[in-house]
Amino acid sequence: MLELLQGPLLISILAGMVRIATPLLFSAMGELVTQRAGIWNISVEGTMLLGAVVAYVVASTTGSPWLALLAAVLACALISLIMSFVTIVLKAEQFVAGLALNLLASGLTLFWFQTYVIGREPPKFAGFDQVDVPLLSDIPFLGPILFSQRLLTYFAFLLPVAVWFFLYRTKYGLEIRCVGENPKALDVKGLSVGWRQCLAIMFGSLMSGFGGAFLMLGYSDRFVPDLIAGRGWLVVVAIIAGNWMPFRVVGAIFIFALLEAVAIHAQVVGVSIPHHFFLILPYVASLVLLAGLRSRTHQPEALGVPYSRE
Amino acid sequence: MVRPVVVEELLKVRNLTKRFGAVAANDGVSLDVRKGEVHCLFGENGAGKSTLSACLYGYYRADSGEIVFKGKTAELNSPADALRLGIGMVHQHFVLVSNFTVLENIIVGSSDVGVFLNKSEARRKVVALCQECGIDIDLDREIWQLSVGEQQWVEILKALYFGAELLILDEPTAVLTPQQSDQLFRIISGMRSRGLSIILISHKLREVMQSDRVTILRKGKVVATVETAGSTAESITALMVGHKVTKHVRDRSVMPAGEFLSLRNVCAKGDWSEDVLKDVSFDIAKHEVLGLAGVAGNGQKELFEVLMGVRAASSGGFSLDGEAIVAPTSREMLDRGVGFVPDDRFLEGLIPEFGTAENLVLGWQRAPEYRRGPFLDRRKLGLLARKKIEEFRVVTASADLPVERLSGGNAQRVILAREFLHARGLLLANQPTRGLDVAASEFVCEKILEKRAAGFAVLLASEELDDLMRLCDRIAVIFKGRIMGIVRPEETSLLDLGMMMAGDAKEPERTVQ
Ligand SMILES: Nc1ncnc2c1ncn2[C@@H]1O[C@H](COP(=O)(O)OP(=O)(O)OP(=O)(O)O)[C@@H](O)[C@H]1O
Ligand SMILES: [Mg+2]
């Protein structure tokens, strides 16, 4: 156990944490904006899966990870229109719509996987390369942890600041929060509630697309159907545990990511405890966090309530 | 009251109809609003006043009819259209974001803050507006920290900020104290003298009589439009209900006898652990109505909560029918036959999504008479609902229509029906006539007197001092959580009451038994 804390290994664990946190940060910041607009979009898991599948297909046919990313993000933005239509126009139960989308995504993926992937020669595809930030990556200890990552990771770490700034320092952020708290208050000022919710859902899906694509293109070398492995659900938990505040959500995500990084390294180092025990750590942590942080004071008041005038 | 020399119509409504399912909330309504006039809409609960306002504001789309604004036909498909034309509105129920600050609530959705929320310009504008209107409010406090009266000011500021030419005020004074209402009327007359028009909805005759013209609605139809100057409160009321409303007075031959509720030195803390009740002591006998007079926010709400067992007294206590009540729960109080009409109807009095039938048995849903085995007896509930809807004249499409769809006054009647039905012995009523039309409030007064005659002890808090004076055997005045004195109406003038409500120390502390 102690060897986990030695220099190179510690660096490796922390660098792993940063890497693992990347897709979670994308999805969580997207979902946070969606939820602040009052929409419980629990289809994060399915959307990430869709992003990963599309990224895999495009990357292996074109060979360009950037094209793959673009395609994944666009696909997720498109699929979000279904969610918008069902929840905003038809005003259906958001929870059910999200569940349905998740089932659809996992079902279609399995079907596609069994028909086109299994039993064939896995195609070659190129993922993202590591980008060392000049000078900064040479800082001892911190350099390899923070500044020898994939390009998208740097974006992911800037994202919470951007989202915070958007929500609390811009007019549009104020409007989005208003929609989540009391949509009528914005409606009576003559501004469209539906459009804002639609855009918020789209932003959320787009970010989940980034998350899913990064999982695929960042570190994997082949596709497996359980690539997402509940990370979409962890994101939803992180938002609740983070009490809908951007930086607290980030804190929750770091806890999950750290535990997963530890689990992976424990496996490599070969600790005597069965490694399955480590693998369940993030999920146990999510339960503990949910039970421990019960304050929901910043939960948007109209979260999950379809809005209509009459 | 000077009428404008040139009569210029700002707004013309022709044959407006709006239906909700089978209910015609507005049925061929025609209305003219002149430039620079205060036009009052007056009518029973459910007459369609709020619906008409919402149609004029583009919030609802009228099914048919024409709206002409400044000589041009107006297509009002959303509030955006109304705002563009210069029509503003204050809604009957608050439309505020409770964890936004006052300033944020005012500026959200306005175009003059810039992308990066430059609030300083907006703040200057709001501060100027407050000064002009004499509104004293901290712009940086969040809404949930404000009293209902202050929240109403925020709503009014929101509307004024947009600078409308026609301002629709839907019962703006329902939650204001008489002093605050006077202030609002000063603001309104200032606006009128600047040539703005106001549509005002109110159930208080004192306020209706300050308008220029009154349009009386009944069951979605216009009964008449009259000049206020040539009318009296009685004639307007008669037009509204179709007959004269007699004010009931308590029967003095029935004397209160036998202590029922008695409070001794009750102290309690508020939501921010400040002292809200200080040494409150009084008794109420059977056959007695004790009035509780006071400006809203002086501890009335907390006093009712203590008596209902939802707020713990920090010291002191009370007894009911000679039995000391220790650490009560609301369940216990209900079982002891206490009826309670809370002042916030949708927050504490009703489940907005439930229908009338279900709301009528709320709290008593386990009583054997409403059950068949473990199930609710739907048939009995339906029968009960039908009976109460008729008795309390609740206007609703069906017993299952969610009560949030009822007009404000009708929702209030559902609560009253429930509490009057189930109470045995003690009735606690906090502002029971708030938002009720003239006839309905008289009906409630009559019901309270019936309970008194039947031997109930009644605690009645109201801002309608006239009502207190004629219904109550004694009136306790509360100020800053302290009972300033308990007086008999026949030995007290309204002026005395007013002074005690303002905490006037010159008034020697008086208490009658
Ligand atoms: N959204 C709705 N769905 C169904 N019925 C409605 C809806 N809104 C109003 N109604 C019905 O329309 C009628 C008119 O309601 P409205 O709120 O306009 O009355 P009001 O005159 O404002 O009454 P109050 O004085 O009690 O506020 C009522 O019978 C009410 O039940
Ligand atoms: Mg109304």
Backbone angles phi, psi at B443, to 5 degrees: -60, -40
B258-337+424-513 has the same fold as B9-241: yes
B15/B458 Cα distance (integer angstroms) = 46
B319/A65 Cα distance (integer angstroms) = 77
Over its C-alpha atoms, chain A yields an Rg (Å, rounded) of 20
| Predicted confidence band of residue A310 (pLDDT cuts 50, 70, 90) | confident
Query: What is the DSSP-derived secondary structure letter of residue B403?
Result: G
What separation in angstroms does the CA of A92 have from each of B20, B246, B296?
21, 50, 41
Which option is the CATH number for B9-241: 3.40.120.10, 3.40.50.300, 3.30.1490.100, 3.40.50.20?
A: 3.40.50.300
Query: What is the DSSP-derived secondary structure letter of residue B101?
Result: B
Comparing A138 with A27, the larger pLDDT belongs to A27
Per-domain residue ranges for chain A? 15-112+152-292
Answer whether B25 contacts ligand 1 (Cβ < 6 A). yes
Question: 3-class DSSP state for residue B462?
Answer: coil
| Predicted confidence band of residue B265 (pLDDT cuts 50, 70, 90) | very high
| Cβ contact, residue pair B109, A175, below 8 Å | yes
HSE-up (13 A, CA, CB side) for residue A296: 11
Query: A165-169, B119-123, B202-206: which has the highest mean pLDDT?
Result: A165-169
* Contact between residue B311 and residue B302 where contact means Cβ atoms under 8 Å apart: yes
For residue B432, the tally of other CB atoms under 10 A from its CB is 26
| Cβ contact, residue pair A188, B79, below 8 Å | yes
Residue B208 identity: V
How does pLDDT run across B14-33, given as a tens digit for each residue? 999 999 988 899 999 999 99
Per-domain residue ranges for chain B? 9-241, 258-337+424-513, 345-422
Q: In terms of DSSP bridges, do strands B313-320 and B257-269 run parallel, antiparallel, or are they unpaired? A: antiparallel
| Predicted confidence band of residue B510 (pLDDT cuts 50, 70, 90) | low
Mean pLDDT to the nearest integer, B424-444: 90
**Please, is A310 exposed, middle or buried when counting C-beta atoms within 10 Å of its C-beta (0-12, 13-18, 19+)?**
exposed
* Contact between residue A226 and residue A113 where contact means Cβ atoms under 8 Å apart: no
How much is the pLDDT for B312?
93
How does pLDDT run across B363-377, given as a tens digit for each residue? 888 888 898 888 889
Residue that has been written with the tokens 């013209």 in this structure: B213
Mean pLDDT of chain A: 90
Over its C-alpha atoms, chain B yields an Rg (Å, rounded) of 24
| Angle, CA of B195, B198 and B200, to the nearest 5° | 160
Q: Name the architecture of domain B258-337+424-513.
A: 3-Layer(aba) Sandwich (3.40)
Q: How far is A196 from chain B (nearest CA, A)?
A: 12
Q: Which ligand minimizes its atom distance to the CA of B24? A: 1
For residue B304, the tally of other CB atoms under 10 A from its CB is 23
Residue with CA at minimum distance from ligand 1 atom 17: B407
Query: What is the DSSP-derived secondary structure letter of residue B159?
Result: H
Residue with CA at minimum distance from ligand 1 atom 18: B48
For residue B269, the tally of other CB atoms under 10 A from its CB is 15
For residue B86, the tally of other CB atoms under 10 A from its CB is 17
User: Could you write out the three-class secondary structure of chain A?
Assistant: CHHHHCHHHHHHHHHHHHHHHHHHHHHHHHHHHHHHCCCCCCCHHHHHHHHHHHHHHHHHHHCCHHHHHHHHHHHHHHHHHHHHHHHHHCCCCHHHHHHHHHHHHHHHHHHHHHHHHCCCCCCCCCCCCEEECCCHHHCCCHHHHHCEEEHHHHHHHHHHHHHHHHHHHCHHHHHHHHHHHCHHHHHCCCCCHHHHHHHHHHHHHHHHHHHHHHHHHHCCCCCCCCCCCCHHHHHHHHHHHCCCCHHHHHHHHHHHHHHHHHHHHHHHHCCCCCHHHHHCHHHHHHHHHHHHCCCCCCCCCCCCCCCCCC
How does pLDDT run across B293-326, given as a tens digit for each residue? 998 888 999 999 999 999 999 999 999 999 999 9
Which chain A residue is nearest to residue B155, measuring alpha carbons?
A185
How does pLDDT run across A261-270, given as a tens digit for each residue? 988 888 777 7
| Predicted confidence band of residue B511 (pLDDT cuts 50, 70, 90) | low
Dihedral of CA atoms B156, B162, B165, B170 in degrees, nearest 10, equals: -30
What separation in angstroms does the CA of B453 have from each of B255, B284, B456, B472?
9, 14, 7, 12
Q: How far is A140 from chain B (nearest CA, A)?
A: 39
Q: Helix A231-241 vs helix A7-36: angle between axes, to the nearest 10 degrees?
A: 70
| Cβ contact, residue pair B80, A171, below 8 Å | no
Indicate if the pLDDT at residue A272 is higher than 90.
no
Answer whether B410 contacts ligand 1 (Cβ < 6 A). yes
B397 touches A: beta carbon within 8 Å: no
Hey, what are A111's tokens?
A: 């079907």
How much is the pLDDT for A287?
85
Query: A53-57, A111-115, A142-146: which has the highest mean pLDDT?
Result: A53-57
B475/B489 Cα distance (integer angstroms) = 7
Indicate if the pLDDT at residue B3 is higher than 70.
no
Identify the sign of the CA torsion B138, B141, B144, B145: negative
Comparing A229 with A178, the larger pLDDT belongs to A178
What separation in angstroms does the CA of B281 have from each of A117, B15, B59, B263, B275?
81, 57, 49, 5, 16
Identify the sign of the CA torsion A13, A15, A18, A19: negative
How much is the pLDDT for A137?
83
Atom of ligand 1 nearest to the CA of B92: 27
| Nearest CA-CA partner of A50 in A257, A177, A225, A175 | A225
Hey, what are B201's tokens?
A: 């909805």
| Cβ contact, residue pair A178, B81, below 8 Å | no
- H/E stretch holding B150 reads helix B148-161
Comparing A292 with B386, the larger pLDDT belongs to B386
Indicate if the pLDDT at residue A3 is higher than 70.
no
Residue that has been written with the tokens 């009370």 in this structure: B318
Residues in chain B: 513
Select from B80, B95, B117 the Cβ nearest to the Cβ of A185: B95
Hey, what are A107's tokens?
A: 């079902």
A170/A100 Cα distance (integer angstroms) = 34
Q: Which residues of B touch A303 (CB under 8 A)?
A: none
B347 touches A: beta carbon within 8 Å: no
| Nearest CA-CA partner of A198 in A52, A36, A85, A113 | A85
* Contact between residue B435 and residue B346 where contact means Cβ atoms under 8 Å apart: no
The answer to which of A147-151, A164-168, B315-319, B471-475 has the lowest mean pLDDT is A147-151
Query: What is the DSSP-derived secondary structure letter of residue B300?
Result: H
Conformation bin of residue B431: beta by default, left when phi > 0, alpha when psi is -120 to 50:
left
Atom of ligand 1 nearest to the CA of B217: 21
Indicate if the pLDDT at residue B345 is higher than 70.
yes
Pocket test for ligand 1, best of B27, B41, B50, B171 (most atoms within 8 A of CB): B50
* Contact between residue A51 and residue A213 where contact means Cβ atoms under 8 Å apart: yes
Answer whether B59 contacts ligand 1 (Cβ < 6 A). no
How does pLDDT run across A48-83, given as a tens digit for each residue? 999 999 999 999 999 899 999 999 999 999 999 999
Structure ipTM: 0.90
* Contact between residue B292 and residue B461 where contact means Cβ atoms under 8 Å apart: yes
How does pLDDT run across B70-105, given as a tens digit for each residue? 999 999 999 999 999 999 999 998 999 999 999 999
* Contact between residue B37 and residue A287 where contact means Cβ atoms under 8 Å apart: no
Mean pLDDT of chain B: 90
| Predicted confidence band of residue B506 (pLDDT cuts 50, 70, 90) | very low
| Predicted confidence band of residue B211 (pLDDT cuts 50, 70, 90) | very high
Comparing A233 with A286, the larger pLDDT belongs to A233
Mean pLDDT to the nearest integer, A137-164: 89
The answer to which of A128-137, B37-46, B395-404 has the lowest mean pLDDT is A128-137
Q: Which ligand minimizes its atom distance to the CA of B408? A: 1
Hey, what are A248's tokens?
A: 């607290």
Atom of ligand 1 nearest to the CA of A310: 1
How much is the pLDDT for A301?
93
| Predicted confidence band of residue B184 (pLDDT cuts 50, 70, 90) | very high
| Cβ contact, residue pair A170, B97, below 8 Å | no
**Please, is B257 exposed, middle or buried when counting C-beta atoms within 10 Å of its C-beta (0-12, 13-18, 19+)?**
exposed
Dihedral of CA atoms B404, B410, B415, B419 in degrees, nearest 10, equals: -160
A260/A286 Cα distance (integer angstroms) = 12
* Contact between residue A70 and residue A129 where contact means Cβ atoms under 8 Å apart: no
